[in-house]
Each structure stands twice: as C-alpha cells, then as structure tokens.
Amino acid sequence: MSRSPMIVRTIPALRRAIDGISSKGVTTALVPTMGALHDGHLSLVRLAKRRAAKVIVSIFVNPTQFAPTEDFGSYPRTWNADLALLAAENVDLIWNPDVKTMYPDGFATKILTEGPAKVGLEDRFRPDFFTGVSTAVGKLFTQCRPDFAIFGEKDFQQLRVVTQMARDLDLGVKVIGSRTVRERDGLAMSSRNVYLSEAERRAAPELYRAMKESAKRLRAGDDIKAAMAAGAALAVAAGFTLDYFEVRHAETLRPIAAVKDGPMRILVAAKIGTTRLIDNVSV
Ligand code: PAF
C-alpha cells in the first residue's frame, strides 16, 4: 500500500518537518534530484530506505548548474508522474522549493569546489557546473540535515565532488554512491534520454560497449593509450562526437600513467546529434 509523501515548499515548513523527524531520533536519508524521475532515481530511493528510517527526496531543477546555452528551460518537468512514483515507494517527504526559495533576491554565496571538481573532465566543458551543483547540494544538506545522502554513480565526478564537499565542510552527511541503472541494451538511465531520436536511441548503447571494450583491454594488460583509443574509435564509429573518453584514478579522478597506478575508472562524455550523454565504468 502506498501513502502520500508530505510535500514541503517553504523553508519554515521544512524546518518544522525536519525538527519533527529529528525529535524522534530516527535516521534520515536525502535523495537529491531534479525530478523527471526514472528507475535509476528509484534505485537511489530504495537504497535510501535500506539505510535510514525516513527518506526525503528533493525535486529542484537547479538553474545555477546550467550554462545559458544549456537546457534549463526545456529540462523535462514531470511533477504528477514523479509524485506517483515517490508515493509508490513510500517516501516520507518531498522537498520541492522554487528558485526564489533556494536563491532569494540578494543571494550572494557560492561553494567553490576544487580537487575532483578541477580535473579537466566535466569541468572542462561546463566550467560553472560544479559550483552550481555544490552550492545547491550544500544548501540541500543544511536545509534537510540528513544522516545519509544518496547519489548515482552515473554522474561519477559529481559523486566525488559532493563527497569531498561534505567532508571538507564537516556537513555531517555520509554521501553514498549507488550503482548506475541501465536499460536492457546497456544505455545508462538518464532524464535526458528523452531527447534522443529513434535512430540516436538505437545507437546510444554503443557508448557503453565502447567503454567496456577499453576496460576489457586494460584488464588484459594493454597499454593505456591503445586500450582507450580502441574504445574511443568504437564510439566514434557509432556516431558519437567525444568530449572526453578517458581512464582516470577512480578516487582522485587524476590522469594515470600506468595500469598499476589504479584503481581505474573510465569516464566519457559524448554527443549524439544534439544530446550529450555521460557515462562511466569501473575497470
Ligand atoms: O544529479 C542531479 O540531478 C543534480 O545535479 C543534483 C545533484 C540534484 C543537484 O542539483
């Protein structure tokens, strides 16, 4: 049986709700989202339920992480469907602030992250992205005061950046990464997959296959350059234009010179048509 989550849209109402939960002394987990929920998000919610007694999901399309040329205006917004999905998961609270609530007039504070936020991956192509994410997530953490926060491994650099931020700022939140959920053909689930045309959707899983090819070669002891070039060539042959297709140290995200310098993670961002996909696999 599903029950309706409490929906909160103002800071005073959120404070009352969070005070109510913490007075009961139970653990809470936050799943930060921008809505347009799919099975990948639901797997984060299910992990949150295993870790904590109460689950909060935030739905906020955060304007500060979009560049002016990006899709803030057209980002899918599917409130009714999201609400039905979260009710079916028995989520306790949905935090759904509007832009003015998150960034009131005169708002003038940013969280500038370095370390994994400055390694020449997403940050090279979206220079303000992690400042926008970190500022929004930092606020979500202080507003909701969760014990745990669950993020998908699909946005692997984001996961590393928010983990570092929570630790550096002593936010008292344990950040937990959750495995990427894939369609049956291997495409990583993403709210932006709805942008793909039929032909692009058919080609899209090749990105995953390309990463797996490089991972297989690295595991077999191939030299890094050759292994990555083989995977990148497969992605390009499938119609992708690559922003990056790289193997990095899985913790620091810094470049690695040799396989023995691992653990390794292959990270990729690539465009098919006008849609930019990001994905990653462990090696
Ligand atoms: O991954 C996302 O959906 C967003 O970047 C996040 C973490 C909700 C911050 O706006």
| pLDDT one-digit tens code per residue, 214-252 | 999 999 999 999 999 999 999 999 999 999 999 999 999
Q: What is the 275 CA–ligand 1 centroid distance (Å)?
A: 18
What the block records as the tokens of 123 is: 């940050």
In the chain, ranges of CATH 3.40.50.620 domains: 6-178
What the block records as the tokens of 79 is: 């409130």
Q: Which residues line ligand 1 (CB under 6 A)?
A: 32-34, 62, 65, 133, 136-137, 155, 158
Task: Round to whole Å and give the CA distance between 117 and 158.
Answer: 8
How do the pLDDT tens digits run along the chain, 283 residues long? 677 899 999 999 999 999 999 899 999 999 999 999 999 999 999 999 999 999 999 999 999 999 999 999 999 999 999 999 999 999 999 999 999 999 999 999 999 999 999 999 999 999 999 999 999 999 999 999 999 999 999 999 999 999 999 999 999 999 999 999 999 999 999 999 999 999 999 999 999 999 999 999 999 999 999 999 999 999 999 999 999 999 999 999 999 988 888 899 999 999 999 999 999 999 9
In CATH, 191-282 is 1.10.240.10? no
Percentage helix, strand, coil for the chain under 3-state DSSP, each rounded to 5: 45, 20, 35
Task: Round to whole Å and give the CA distance between 268 and 73.
Answer: 25
Domain 6-178, what architecture?
3-Layer(aba) Sandwich (3.40)
In the chain, ranges of CATH 3.30.1300.10 domains: 191-282
Residues 6+ apart with CB under 8 A from 106: none
Amino acid at 18: I
Q: How far is CA 273 from CA 38, 141, 196, in A?
A: 22, 36, 8
- Residue 49: closest CA among 32, 16, 34, 27: 27
Q: What is the 72 CA–ligand 1 centroid distance (Å)?
A: 13
Helix, strand, or coil (residue 18):
helix
